[in-house]
Amino acid sequence: MNQQSLPHQIAEIASRSVKRTLRQPGVLIPPLTFPLMLMAVNSSGLRAATDLPGFPTDSFLSFFLPFSFMQGALFAASTAGTDLARDIDTGFLNRLALTPMRGTALLVGQLGGATAMGVVQALVYLGVGLAFGVRFESGVGGVLMLLVLAILIAIGWASIGVWLALRTGSGEAVQSQFPMLFFLLFISSMNMPRDLIEVEWFRAAATLNPVSYMIEGLRSLIIEGWNAQALALALTMTIGLVVLALGLSAVALRERMART
């Protein structure tokens, strides 16, 4: 018997991860519904914010749509983390460790489900946004760019979920960390452009918060067009998150899967 190539191993693990995710309605439905509900509530209740001098658009829905992608990404992180923690808890990870599977295949493949979820979510948010009148200043190319960026963001946060799972081995522990990630979301520029935030500490926190730049990158494609600086910052933060989280996960996996 030969050892499978790395791409084949990744494909096998990813295929399993996607199947598992798509077969769990309880995992699929909340990330699709909650962000849309919040988008509906906020775009209606905070519409008056568009009257503020300097607000970059007269459509709060267009302004707020990127928040859905971010919230969906955090759900993806929770799913990826709890799924892996369950594998650790049930011994499924040991089963995989007894095969010639490489650690890289597990890490990358495990994110397959998160990526699949990211794609489905992004298409749904985008479809709903377009149906309710959101128009892309950056055109069709901007729509594609937004999808790519949104999926990368989902992969980045899912990698954080994977890292937490490998560190703790407990689904409950993974889920208990997510209020902290949501906190990051809420102290970002999700509701207001940073230069319009009057409370100084909040503006400073939002400026330090990488999530702000991810949201602003997505937002720029909708309400501004092609803003190279916003996109560069968003891509840098997102790719940085992916690299950092995968690096931390690789170290944690080596400790967790201590096979000889």
Partner 1 sequence: MASARGIEAHGLVREFKNVKAVKGIDLEVAPGEIYGFLGPNGAGKSTTVHMLTTLLPPTAGTARVAGYDVVADGPKVRASIGAALQEAALDPWLTGREHVRLQSSLHGIGRRERKERGDELLERVGLTRAADRKVQTYSGGMKRRLDLALALVHRPTTLFLDEPTTGLDPQSRSALWNEVARLARDEGVTVFLTTQYLEEADVLARRVGIIDLGRIVAEGTPEELKAEIAKPTVEASPEEPSELGAVAAVLEQFGERTQGAPGRVAVRLDGKGDLADVVRALDAAGVGVSNLQLHAASLDDVFLAKTGHRLEGAEDDAAPE
Region of 85-93, 115-123, 167-175, 185-193 interacting with partner 1 (CB under 8 A): 85-93
Give 137's contacts (C-beta < 8 A, 6+ positions apart).
221, 222, 223, 224, 225
Interface with partner 1, residue 9, by CB under 8 A:
yes
Choosing from 7, 37, 52, 95, the residue that interacts with partner 1 (CB under 8 A) is 95
Q: Helices marked H in the chain — which ranges?
A: 6-22, 25-45, 60-90, 92-97, 103-131, 139-168, 171-186, 200-208, 210-223, 228-256
As a whole number of angstroms, the distance between CA 248 and CA 160 comes to 8
Interface with partner 1, residue 19, by CB under 8 A:
yes
Interface with partner 1, residue 98, by CB under 8 A:
yes
Total residues interacting with partner 1, rule: CB under 8 A: 27
Interface with partner 1, residue 16, by CB under 8 A:
yes
Residue number with CB closer to partner 1 (94 or 176): 94
Give 169's contacts (C-beta < 8 A, 6+ positions apart).
85, 88, 89, 256
Choosing from 6, 7, 24, 29, the residue that interacts with partner 1 (CB under 8 A) is 24
Residue number with CB closer to partner 1 (8 or 135): 8
As a whole number of angstroms, the distance between CA 158 and CA 152 comes to 10
Binding to partner 1 (CB under 8 A): which residues in 141-180? none
- For binding to partner 1 (CB under 8 A), which residues are involved? 1-4, 8-9, 12, 16, 19-20, 23-24, 87, 90-92, 94-101, 258-260
